Amino acid sequence: MEPIEIFKALSNETRLNILQWLKEPEKHFPKVSIEGGVCVGDIQEKAKTSQSTVSHYLTMMQKAGLLESFRHGQWTYYKIKEETVHQIASFLVSDTQNE
Amino acid sequence: MEPIEIFKALSNETRLNILQWLKEPEKHFPKVSIEGGVCVGDIQEKAKTSQSTVSHYLTMMQKAGLLESFRHGQWTYYKIKEETVHQIASFLVSDTQNE
DNA sequence: ATGATATATCGGATTATCTCGATATGTCAA
DNA sequence: TTGACATATCGAGATAATCCGATATATCAT
């Protein structure tokens, strides 16, 4: 877990919205895959921004460990990685660190 | 609480270090004020960066609500605002939001 | 194979962040 | 009231983030 990469990923309104939406995908998207993922197009539509930007954002959030993706046919689905979200929240409130 | 401002403030190694240090000031600094604050000069020394940069960073973190400051004589002391840190951690793990 | 659809990547113009040295302000001691 | 010290603010050059349209790639249906 790289806290700085995670915080950078969260420093943008659109990306922060995406994270929040994907916490409860059934509540925010018309269709959700069996595994709980949402396809890029549906995220793009809700985020109201360009296809390339959303794709870029999702990749960035995945690299930070906030999301994971899997492909079914021609669709790529993204879902939240709860583990990382909980880890970064714990990191924030913990008070043991080096030097 | 403005999550994006907070995450921006945490998106930098020096600033993130400062936050972590100020979680346990007695552990990381030679002297700590009665109120639990640390003066800018001591933070600068430990952060190993310029005076103007540290001052700027501390101001930014204060505006984000992560730190609070008070002055005694010619020294300005900064300490953590635990409340905000806990709030942003809760925000991350909560799953109730608008729209 | 071909065209349609979904997503990813590229290139780049614009805007923001980083970080510094210089300078201003504020406080204390002599 | 002057000089020394602590901190804040200013201005700017370097670097990075933002966000788009264009294009590439991958998959599916025909």
For chain B, give every domain's residue range: 3-88
A99 band by pLDDT with thresholds 50, 70 and 90: low
Residue–nucleotide distance: B53 CA to C18 C1' (Å): 9
Residue–nucleotide distance: A4 CA to D10 C1' (Å): 28
Residue–nucleotide distance: B57 CA to C1 C1' (Å): 60
Chain B residues touching residue A36 (CB < 8 angstroms): none
Alpha-carbon span A26 to A31, nearest angstrom: 7
d(CA A13, nearest CA chain B) in Å: 7
Over pLDDT 70: what percentage of chain A? 97
Question: How far apart, in Å, do the first and last CA atoms of chain A sit?
Answer: 19
Q: Which phi and psi angles does B32 have, rounded to 5°? A: -135, 135
- Give the 3-state secondary structure of residue B30: coil
Q: Which of A4, A86, A92 comes nearest B13 by C-beta? A: A4
pLDDT along chain B (99 residues), means of 10: 98 98 98 97 98 98 98 98 98 81
At A96 the pLDDT is 79
Quick one: which of A66, A83, A53 has its CA closest to A19? Answer: A66
Architecture of the domain delimited by A3-86: Orthogonal Bundle (1.10)
At B2 the pLDDT is 97
CA angle A40, A31, A39 (to 5 degrees): 15
Q: Could you give the C-alpha distances from A24 to A53, A79, B69, B98, in angstroms and in order?
A: 22, 10, 38, 11
Q: Which nucleotides of D are covered by protein (CB under 7 A)?
A: 5-11, 17-22, 26-28
Q: Could you give the C-alpha distances from B57 to A20, A29, A60, A94, B78, in angstroms and in order?
A: 28, 39, 25, 22, 11
At A11 the pLDDT is 98
Alpha-carbon span A93 to B87, nearest angstrom: 10
* Domain B3-88 bears CATH identifier 1.10.1740.10: no
At B98 the pLDDT is 55
Interface residue ranges in chain A relative to chain B, Cβ cutoff 8 Å = 3-4, 7-8, 10-13, 16, 20, 23-24, 28, 85-86, 88-90, 92-93, 95-97, 99
d(CA B70, nearest CA chain A) in Å: 23
